[in-house]
A and B are shown apart, each in its own frame.
Chain A
Amino acid sequence: MDITWYLVLSALLFAVGVSGVLIRRSPLVILLCLELMLNAGNLALLAFSRSLGNQDGQVFALIVMVIAACEVVVGLGIIVAAYRRRIPLNVDDLRSLRG
């Protein structure tokens, strides 16, 4: 089975995710783009799994999904909390870790 097109799609999705993280300033969108990157990785894992006839890749994909769900829960929680406290939702303004 030829997996070239799957991998190309995965790479494209990953690139879109990365550029989103780098360009956008809203934490909500950055979180969405992170999800995109994770799922691009999942796609590649599944493609390789089917290609090699090995189920391990699918298990990995499942684990990644679980972790992604957890991450979203925490991330969205932080965003909602920040919104309620009237903290500006702009990552360029949140610079208190500046050295």
Chain B
Amino acid sequence: MSATAYGWLVLAFPLAGTLIISLGWKRLPGRSPGWIATAMIGLSFLASVGALIQLLGDPVDARQHTSALYDYASAAGLNIQLNVLVDPLSVYMCLIVSGVSTLIHLYSISYMTSDRGFNRFFAYLNFFVFSMLLLVLAGNLVLLIIGWAFVGFASYALISFWYRRETATKAGMKAFVINVIGDIGMVLAAFFIFRELGTFDLLSIFSQAPNTFHTNQGVVVAICLLLLVGAFAKSAQVPFHTWLPDAMEGPTPVSALIHAATMVTAGVYLIARFHPLFEIALTAADVAALVGLATLLIAATIALVVTDLKKIIAYSTMSQIGYMVVGVGIGAYSEGLFHLMTHAFFKALLFMAAGSIIGAMANRQNIDLMGGFRRAMPFTSATLLIGALALAAFPLTSGWFSKDEILDFAAYRGGWYVIFTIGGYIGALLTAFYSFRIGFRVVFGEPCEEAKELEGGHIHHAEPANPATEESEDTDVGFPGSTHQIAERELPMKIAMSVLAFGALFAGLVQIPGVDDVVHKFLHGSFLDSKFYEQGPTTTAAYRGLLIGGLISVLGIAIAYYAYIRNRGWTAALQKRFGWAHDFLENKWYFDEAIDLVFVRPALAIGRWSNRVFERYVVQGIVVAAVDLVRGAGAGVRGVQSGYLRSYALLLVTGFAGLGLYFLLQSS
């Protein structure tokens, strides 16, 4: 089979899974929808592997294949086909998306087992993966935007999965609205591209762009900035990031899926995919990198003070996506995409471990309440620590290789790009600290009540309540189920976490500088026209960067050790001393408040004004005037309709006589 045939199969399996589960959810017995969904994504992963094998058989400069199923729209010089683009970049993304998603599906079978919405959950989950794969494989801009919007909808459905929780439905709406802002940016960018180049086909856009635009021409910068709006909204970059922490309202596997495999990586993919445009619009690429840097620092500082376990991990995602955006923004494409892969492993792992701990805590998520799970949950504790090590970029873990390669590349670019290296290392220090803030506080220390109960062989059970507001709930459909799952007792969870832990530890070995560079070489086929791709720091510089990164990571972990193990009161003292800074970070740099002040309140005020003034006087005035006019005219004409046949006849005769007279006078 050809590579594109595998590409279609990659899309077909998740779609089939969605349809089977959503049409047959009443008839499918027990937990079978979960297994069907997992199998479908697994098959999709196998098809991705098939496509990979086919591509590896091609020469490096002939690895971009397209295949059209049929004409989607064809009229007036516009030809949009339903086509896929199978090339190293899309296959690489497919492998990550479908691979990590398979494990998350497997985990969910156990995690969601007592939830009354089990079947609905898997239908959504399959649809989510399908949308993401469609986005990644799309061969033209229209199909890409369709996938882009599907991902937005699927995230809405899954964040609001527990739809009887008000906080969850609000979080879903927030995510959807912010994503739609991004969609508008994408659609406008597509319009501009069509106006300038007359095509939506990705490969034609990329081949025509260098001949049409000159460097930093206004319109191409505008296109790239509009694309960035879409990318930032999807990838939760400043200032469109506020939906991501709120998205933690969804079930934990959904958080893992959004953060690791499917959604937030879409922005990074988009920038990498559109690199021919960004290399012409260098200003826009710099904007992307600067926003990435701002995001990674802001998110890392917020993660220092947040106390909700899942939100700490959420902010760490924002921060890590910031690294990737810096990477693809400065031209370090393979490095940024490599970080995307390692991040997918360790972030999915962290969320799964967090889900297991939240299960043991009976759905409570505040890390102030947790502690000392190392004896009660040895497996979860080990995987959590592995995830934290990789996140902290501890030497020889996967995160160490990928993160430092991006920073090395920034140093190699030289000039003012050095700020990315410096800022990145500051971020890395903060990352190491907060990842072990989780590690030390949850795993080590004095066991909390729940951990002691678990050591006695019993999972803590609390009255069901919303962890954010403490409102009491029941366990019917629309709320979480009645039982809590931990990895120690559920084989599917254990398998999924073991595979990811392996990836988090060893995935970095595929790209050791100067040794193998597998990812870099494989992705080359998609970046043949890039002027940055062949460049990069020397092997010596790369190892120097790895050394610095490793030292910073160890330093951050050491500070965390000092703060949370050796000298417990230190952080509380700091918090008291720098209360203003703590408040500032606790309130997430006041982004929500600022957006509320700048956009939400004026919009509401305009709405109220329109209702009170515009609607009442202008709109109603026009309507009332029109009604009065018609009624008055009717009253005037009604007198003529007397009902006397002979008066009608007279009117007719005089009318015709008048007309005849008129024409007679005219003609003479």
Contacts and interface: CB of A to CB of B under 8 A. Distances in A.
Nearest to B653: A18
A94 interface: yes
Contact of A97 (B638, B643, B649): B643
A96 B650 CA distance: 19
B653 A96 contact: no
A95 B644 CA distance: 6
A94 B642 contact: no
A98 B649 contact: no
Nearest to B647: A22
B653 A97 contact: no
A99 interface: yes
Interface residues of A, number: 14
B646 interface: yes
B649 A95 contact: no
Contacts of B643: 94-99
Nearest to A24: B646
A96 B645 CA distance: 11
Contacts of B644: 91-92, 95
Contacts of A30: 645
B582 to A, nearest CB: 81
Contacts of B650: 22
A28 B639 CA distance: 28
Contacts of B640: 99
B641 A22 contact: no
A91 B645 contact: yes
Interface residues of B, number: 13
Contact of B653 (A22, A23, A92): A22
A18 B656 CA distance: 12
A94 B641 contact: no
B642 A95 contact: yes
Contacts of B645: 30, 91-92, 94
Contacts, number: 34
A19 to B, nearest CB: 10
A9 to B, nearest CB: 19
A61 to B, nearest CB: 20
Contact of B642 (A18, A21, A23, A98): A98
B638 A99 contact: yes
Interface string A62-99: 00000000000000000000000000000110111111
A81 B637 CA distance: 33
A9 B653 CA distance: 19
A96 B640 CA distance: 14
Given A18-B653, A22-B653, A92 B646 contact: yes
B646 A97 contact: no
Contacts of A96: 643
A91 B641 CA distance: 15
Given A95-B643, A98-B643, A99-B643, A22 B638 contact: no
Contact of A22 (B637, B639, B642, B649): B649
Contact of B646 (A22, A98, A99): A22
A30 B646 CA distance: 10
A77 to B, nearest CB: 18
B156 to A, nearest CB: 57
A91 B646 contact: yes
Interface of A: 18, 21-23, 25, 30, 91-92, 94-99
8 contacts: A30-B645, A94-B643, A94-B645, A95-B642, A95-B644, A98-B643, A99-B638, A99-B642
Given A92-B645, A94-B645, A95-B642, 13 more contacts: A21-B649, A22-B646, A22-B649, A23-B646, A30-B645, A91-B645, A92-B644, A92-B646, A96-B643, A97-B641, A98-B642, A99-B638, A99-B640
List the 4 closest A-B pairs by CB distance, nearest first: A99-B641, A98-B643, A95-B643, A99-B638
